[in-house]
Chains A and B, each alone.
Chain A
Amino acid sequence: MSTLILAEHEGGALRPATLNVVAAATQIGNDVTLLVAGSGSDAVAQAASSLAGVTKVLHADDAAYENELAENLADLVMTIANDYEHILFAATASGKNVMPRVAAMLDVPGISDITEVQSADTFVRPIYAGNAMATVKSSDARKVITVRTTSFEAGAETGGSASVETLAATAASEKVSFIGQELSQSDRPELTSARVVVSGGRGMQDGENFKMLDEIAEKLNAAVGASRAAVDAGFVPNEYQVGQTGKVVAPDLYIAVGISGAIQHLAGMKDSKVIAAINKDEEAPIFQVADYGLVADLFDALPELSKGLDG
């Protein structure tokens, strides 16, 4: 039996998340087919065919797949679903949107956000904001899964030489259409795959002050993240949110500034290799997970830190 992965891509390139999903598929152990669905996506299909561990690329090119509408992607996956034992998606906004549709259409439970492959039918996934880890076993013929990307070391981008086959497109849904997007512009690395993340919380007080974090992020080639409180208050846009219900990150270094460390925030960053925290309250729970804690006013500490990084 084989494993099918729905590849994610944008701007003509694979998203890094797909490499992590390939790594999870490799652990399951069967042949790996990558499904590339897009519009004008030949370059992506080519890139997919050279990923290490991928044996086949199925390429469906049609306007229906341009904007990752869940209805259209799920319908496409369903045309080939019965050839696969495992169907994997990244646990991204896009993957989470599509996976449950496919599971429902196959009448099997979805398995969300796996962090470990114990065997071809047994997986570990966090529940209760990562305060517990559930080991789940599927006896279904098809296992439909999203993969937590930070739990699987990205596979290599080269080394494979998969065949690329064309897959017939399905009809676009008439019930849903794409209107537009408001993507925030940033030259910073992508949050979920950055090696260093600098995050700000309610303690930052306003969006203007996030410039202090940008400055530090610039020096560390880091991504900038935030707590829910900072997003809700409008300091930064929604895609900055790290946590149980935002993005999960696990960089080499996570610096939490003016963040108290609520369970929901910890759920999104406690697998970081090294955690540093700056908070003026020595009782803040963030210090219980921080390798290096600095009890200080961030408005004093950040300018100093920025200067310290120059030296």
Chain B
Amino acid sequence: MKVLVAVKRVLDYNVKARVKADKSGIELANVKMSMNPFDEIAVEEALRIKEAGNAEEVIAVSIGPSQSQETIRTALAMGADRGILIETEEELQPLVIAKLLKHVVEKESPGLVIVGKQAIDDDSNQTGQMLSAMTGWAQATFASKVEFEGDALKVTREVDSGLESIKVAMPAVITTDLRLNEPRYAKLPNIMKAKKKPLETIPVADTGVTTTTGLSVVEVNEPEQRQAGVIVSDVSELVDKLKNEAKVI
């Protein structure tokens, strides 16, 4: 079985996003970019599945500009076997990303696709669910544990009131939550080796997928800023302020 993992190149989680002066989007020139943290978890899970003998090959797919090769190389350095870049300069929405992933799914016929629950730039939390609907495969989102049970999976999911578990037939789409695993770091020799692993580039135009949708960004604004308040000297002043000034207790 092949496992496909989606890896997105995003603004590093430690960098504070700045809105461009012309309100067209976020400043991404000369800032640190990294693999979406949920996708590191996806890669790690795919590797563990392979290491446990449940898969033969891990393929990392990214959709984005040519620099996304670095993101794929990171996945390869962690241990993925090969990479596919669907190259585009456009910023694409989850609907289009899901269609492009489906294109790769049809080409590669994996038994499992693992994506992040959420890209930390657009914060959409849509792609995995959409891919599941488009492929007709079972969906297991917000996974915190994945166990093989024959040709099905038992997936523990993080939900608002705790944890739940479901059983899904394979092939399936899994989206990762934070507690699924702790991703490994790529070791230096593996980073060197990763440079020689195969990485195929497909121009987005060759996929036949329409990249525009009916949804457009009118403008991007700074959020309202909170004013810093006061530092109180002790607990009794805190209680007093909450009671008598803010009147919230």
* Interfacial residues, chain A to chain B (CB-CB below 8 A): 10, 67, 69-71, 74, 92-94, 96-105, 107-113, 122, 126-140, 173-184, 192, 196, 220, 228, 231-232, 237-239, 241, 244-245, 247, 252-253, 263-264, 270, 273-276, 282, 287-296, 301, 304-305, 308-309, 311
Contacts and interface: CB of A to CB of B under 8 A. Distances in A.
Contacts of A177: 166-167
A180 B145 CA distance: 14
B160 A92 contact: yes
A126 B222 CA distance: 10
By Cβ-Cβ distance, the 8 closest A-B pairs, closest first, are A291-B229, A100-B129, A128-B17, A140-B214, A100-B126, A104-B130, A175-B138, A104-B133
Q: Is the interface of A mostly helix, strand, loop or mixed?
A: mixed
Given A244-B120, A304-B235, A110 B217 contact: no
Q: Is the interface of B mostly helix, strand, loop or mixed?
A: mixed
User: Which bucket holds chain B's interface residue count?
Assistant: 35 or more
Contact of A294 (B133, B166, B228, B234): B234
Given A127-B123, A128-B26, A273-B248, A290 B94 contact: no
Given A175-B169, A181-B162, A238-B163, A293 B214 contact: no
A241 B75 CA distance: 28
Contact of A239 (B161, B218, B236): B161
A180 B164 contact: yes
B241 interface: yes
Contacts of A97: 129, 139, 141-142
Nearest to A311: B239
8 contacts: A70-B129, A97-B129, A109-B213, A110-B130, A132-B222, A139-B214, A181-B159, A181-B163
A149 to B, nearest CB: 11
A136 B93 CA distance: 12
B30 interface: no
Contact of A238 (B26, B131, B158): B158
Given A104-B129, A176-B166, A293-B231, A70 B241 contact: no
Interface in B8-51: 11, 13, 16-19, 26, 38
B52 interface: no
A273 B179 CA distance: 30
B217 A134 contact: yes
Contact of A292 (B18, B123, B138, B232): B232
Contact of A245 (B169, B178, B232): B178
Contact of B213 (A96, A108, A238): A108
A175 B238 contact: no
Given A104-B98, A136-B217, 13 more contacts: A109-B94, A112-B124, A131-B17, A133-B222, A139-B215, A140-B214, A238-B158, A253-B248, A263-B13, A274-B246, A294-B234, A294-B235, A309-B239
A263 B22 CA distance: 24
Contacts of A135: 217-221
B218 A122 contact: yes
A102 B134 CA distance: 10
Contact of B228 (A96, A99, A129, A290): A290
Given A70-B139, A176-B166, A184-B162, A108 B214 contact: yes
Contacts of B2: none
A112 B122 CA distance: 9
Given A97-B141, A137-B218, A178-B164, A292 B246 contact: yes
Contact of B139 (A101, A112, A273): A101
Contacts of B228: 287-290
Contact of B214 (A100, A138, A196, A253): A138
B154 interface: yes
A228 B41 CA distance: 15
